[in-house]
Chains A and B, each alone.
Chain A
Amino acid sequence: DIQMTQSPSSVSASVGDRVTITCRASQSISTWLAWYQQKPGKVPKVLISGTSGLRSGVPSRFSGSGSGTDFTLTISSLQPEDFATYYCQQSNSFPWTFGQGTKVEIK
């Protein structure tokens, strides 16, 4: 199975900060990576697919990059509504796997 490792596990940041979350795959997954945001008590929401494709309705302050084994999700200017847990997920091969999550907290 492909292991997805996110770092950091949590980050404290202020409104307006640039936040970068890293996701590393245990083997190459090409660009088969998606990012999700989950707020407390809510269902996950897809932000990015295919490593860098911003889904409809997602603010442009979110961006994704990478290929192979190393990927990043960047929030260019953190907004109050962005405080949440973020997950990466690979769909290159079965079983699909999620990272363990990164919690973005208010500093």
Chain B
Amino acid sequence: EVQLVESGGGLVKPGGSLSLSCTVSGIPFNLAWMSWVRQAPGKGLEWVGRIVSKGGGGTADYAAPVKGRFIISRDDSKNTLYLEMNSLQIEDTAVYYCTWIPKCSDGSCYLDYWGQGTLVTVSS
């Protein structure tokens, strides 16, 4: 059974930092491409970023609103995905989901198996 479990959410002041974790089981994590997606309260889905496997180069790409402030990383020995968030702004308040990208080729790329999400609240 594939499971993704996020942790690390909480309340942080504007300008502060927070680090989220996502522990993954049920898939070969070292081969997995992973993504973070967020959803502000009552709003739609917003893609945050994606990281490829180490074998694929280990590179990460980001959405414009978080580029330069957020860093996605992974520790394959711990089957864990991370999202380091810096210079947090009120508009970063959202539920943050980690998701698995089972396939990204031949015109098809999608997000499957989502964690339950962790709430990040940025407020003074």
Contact = CB atoms under 8 A, between A and B. Distances in A.
Interface residues of A, number: 28
A44 B111 CA distance: 9
Nearest to B111: A46
B91 to A, nearest CB: 16
B110 to A, nearest CB: 4
Give the dominant DSSP class at A's interface.
Answer: loop
A46 B101 CA distance: 11
B64 A95 contact: yes
B107 A51 contact: yes
Interface in A56-107: 85, 87, 89, 91, 94-101
Given A50-B106, A95-B62, A96-B50, A38 B45 contact: yes
Interface string A31-42: 110101010000
A30 interface: yes
B44 interface: yes
Interface of B: 35, 37, 44-47, 50, 61-64, 97, 103-104, 106-112, 114-117
Interface of A: 1, 30-32, 34, 36, 38, 43-46, 49-51, 53, 55, 85, 87, 89, 91, 94-101
Given A30-B107, A43-B114, A46-B112, 7 more contacts: A34-B111, A36-B111, A50-B106, A50-B108, A55-B112, A96-B35, A96-B50
